[in-house]
Structures are given as structure tokens and as C-alpha cells.
């Protein structure tokens, strides 16, 4: 069964592929089902060993992490003196040619069937366990945007080895609210918007009330949709006890800035003092302003300043 929905914008990182491939050795560790997790451990400072491991989590796209340009041009600068860790999603390796198409026809079948938030968190834990057997870093910093933000939050809630987390433009308490916001933001025709909204609500209810079945919507299968629609981010964040910075753009069309603000208000009421919130009123999902000018470098500078304070580093 295949549903036709609006393309849902969930990739926070820039969508341009790298002009040249990053030279990174593929490392592997095993999953419980016998398949391999592909990952890359990249020294950002080749002349000395770093005491910090920076894990960057991509959004919801079906691409190799090595082909996300902004990871290497921008996001690595959140902590440039760290070693950089990238982990491929289920079924993906660096041989997969880059595509900006959310419903690309060559996305691996294993990815469509097996990729989901729970699997990503389990894969990260397995990779970190493997790395820790060979080297113990003093600090583990995790950053992620959009779907990557959701994964970063889940990891911080479940893994006590995480020292600091930065999640940006990851949405509010419930994923369905962000999808409906995205639909409404992209549509100009009132009747079509209403039709699309009602259609997605019906789709969501079908997913939540059905046993697993064969489906591909916006480049994802049943398990991904079921889990994303079931995750309560407010509950997740209440379980995070390590430093966490949540960043949100105020003109984001992919997730609802209002729902994020509402969620942060609830967290504040609950007394969570380890979570800091920064709201950039005039920035969108990719940190461009209303004039289309990129402000990512400024946001990364702010993230770096927060990390310096959090890790008590110069």
C-alpha cells in the first residue's frame, strides 16, 4: 500500500551534496540481527588526540551521512577540537549516491523496512560501546537537527554517558502537530489545506491502530511512522538529566515553533533546570532569515559558546 502525501520537510541540514567525497574509513560493528552498522570516526585535529567525541545526527533523509555537506562545512565547528563520529542508518553505506528526493526510488529496501528511531538509538549505543572499548573520551557531545534532534533527545534520556546535547528544530511534544503545521505552511489553497490535513489525520490514525503492513510514505516505512507518531517528546525531555540545549527557529515551516514553545513552557513548569531553550524569532528550519540569508554560522557560534560554558572549557 502506498499513500501520496505532501513532501514533509524533515531534513535540517543543508541538502547540497558534497562536491568531493570525504575521505573516511568505514568502520563496522554488529547488530543483534547479524547485520553491520557502518560508522566513521574522523580526527578533526590530526596533530593531537582529542578528549571530546562529537556525534552529529542527520535528519530523516535516505542518504549517507558522508554526503551531508553542512556537517563538514558548518556543524563540525560546534566543537572543532573534537573527534567527529557519524553513524549510518540501517541499510545505508557510503556507496549510496546522494539524492535530495525525499521519495528516491533507489533507497535501500532494508532502510525502508528497518529504519526507525528505536533502531537508531540502539545502533548509536552499539557503536559507542565499541568505541569505548578502544578509547575513553572525557566528553561525549551529541547534536542533531529535525529527526536527528528527536534521536539526540532519546539518546540523552537513555544514555548516561552523554555529557551535553544540542537538538535543534526538532518539533514539539507530538510529531503529528509538526506535520500538520508543515502541511498548513506549504499550502496556500484553503480547501486543499483542509483536505490534506484531514487526509494526514486519517493516515496517522490508520498507522496507530493497525498491525504492521507494507507502506512507503515520504521515504519511510510503517515502523518509522508508528514510532514517530507515538513519541512523546515532553516525556522524553523530562527524563534527560544532563545538559541539553534546545534551539528553535521562529519561522520554521517544517515543525511548529509554537508547539515547541508550549513544550518548553511545560518543562520550565516542571522544574527542569538542566535544559536551556534558545529561540531565534526570524530564522527558519535551516537557519535562514526571512530574506533568505543564511545565519547558520551565527547560530553555531552560539552553540559553541554554550558548550564552552557547559563543558567548562576555554
Per-residue pLDDT of the chain (314 residues; tens, 9 = 90+): 444 444 444 455 554 555 455 678 999 999 999 999 999 999 887 777 899 999 999 999 999 999 999 999 999 999 999 999 999 999 999 999 999 888 899 999 999 999 999 999 999 999 999 999 998 899 999 999 999 999 999 999 999 899 999 999 999 999 999 999 999 998 888 999 999 999 999 999 999 999 999 999 999 999 999 999 999 999 999 999 999 999 999 999 999 999 999 999 999 999 999 999 999 999 999 999 999 999 999 999 999 999 999 998 65
Sheet holding 275-280, edge to edge: 27-30, 36-43, 83-87, 52-57, 139-145, 164-168, 244-249, 275-280
Q: How far apart are CA 281 and CA 248, in angstroms?
A: 8
Helix H, strand E, coil C: the string for the chain is CCCCCCCCCCCCCCCCCCCCCCCCCCEEEECCCCCEEEEEEEECCCCCCCCEEEEEECCCCCCCHHHCHHHHHCHHHHCCCCEEEEECCCCCCCCCCCCCCCCCCCCCHHHHHHCCHHHHHHHHHHHHHHHHHHCCCCEEEEEEECHHHHHHHHHHHHCCCCCEEEEECCCCCCHHHHHHHHHHHHCCCHHHHHHHHHHHHHHHHHHHCCCCCCCCECCECHHHHHHHHHCCHHHHHHCCCCCEEEEEECCCCCCCHHHHHHHHHHHHHCCCCCEEEEEECCECCCCEECCCCECHHHHHHHHHHHHHHHHCCC
What are the cell numbers at 263? Answer: 513544550
Q: What is the pTM of this model?
A: 0.94
Q: How many CB atoms lie within 10 A of CB 22?
A: 18
Give the pLDDT of residue 246: 98
Amino acid at each position: 500500500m502506498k499513500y501520496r502525501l505532501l513532501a514533509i520537510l524533515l531534513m535540517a541540514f543543508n541538502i547540497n551534496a558534497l562536491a568531493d567525497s570525504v575521505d573516511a574509513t568505514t568502520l563496522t560493528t554488529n547488530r543483534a540481527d547479524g547485520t553491520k552498522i557502518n560508522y566513521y570516526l574522523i580526527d578533526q585535529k590530526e596533530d593531537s588526540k582529542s578528549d571530546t567525541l562529537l556525534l552529529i545526527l542527520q535528519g530523516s533523509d535516505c542518504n549517507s551521512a558522508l554526503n551531508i555537506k553542512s556537517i563538514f562545512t558548518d556543524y563540525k565547528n560546534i566543537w572543532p577540537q573534537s573527534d567527529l563520529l557519524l553513524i549510518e542508518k540501517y541499510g545505508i553505506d557510503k556507496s549510496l549516491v546522494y539524492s535530495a528526493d525525499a521519495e528516491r526510488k533507489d533507497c535501500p529496501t532494508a532502510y525502508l523496512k528497518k529504519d526507525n528511531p528505536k533502531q537508531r538509538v540502539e545502533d548509536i549505543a552499539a557503536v559507542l560501546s565499541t568505541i569505548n572499548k578502544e578509547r575513553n573520551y572525557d566528553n561525549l557531545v551529541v547534536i542533531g537537527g529535525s529527526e536527528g534532534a528527536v534521536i539526540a533527545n532519546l539518546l540523552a534520556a537513555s544514555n548516561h554517558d552523554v555529557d551535553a546535547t544540542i537538538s535543534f528544530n526538532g518539533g514539539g511534544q507530538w510529531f503529528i502537530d509538526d506535520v500538520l503545521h508543515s502541511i498548513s505552511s506549504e499550502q496556500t489553497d484553503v480547501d486543499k489545506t483542509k483536505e490534506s490535513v484531514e487526509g494526514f489525520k486519517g493516515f496517522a490514525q490508520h498507522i496507530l491502530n493497525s498491525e504492521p503492513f507494507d507502506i512507503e510514505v515520504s521515504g519511510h516505512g510503517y515502523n518509522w511512522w508508528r514510532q514517530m507518531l507515538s513519541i512523546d517528546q515532553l516525556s522524553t525531555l523530562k527524563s534527560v538529566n544532563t545538559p541539553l540545549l534546545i534551539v528553535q527557529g521562529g519561522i520554521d515551516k517544517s515543525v511548529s515553533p509554537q508547539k515547541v514553545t508550549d513544550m518548553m513552557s511545560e518543562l520550565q513548569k516542571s522544574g527542569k533546570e538542566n535544559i536551556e531553550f534558545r529561540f531565534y524569532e526570524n530564522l527558519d528550519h535551516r537557519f535562514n532569515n526571512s530574506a533568505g540569508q543564511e545565519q547558520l554560522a551565527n547560530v553555531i557560534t552560539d552553540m559553541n559558546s554554550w558548550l564552552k560554558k557547559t563543558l567548562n572549557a576555554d
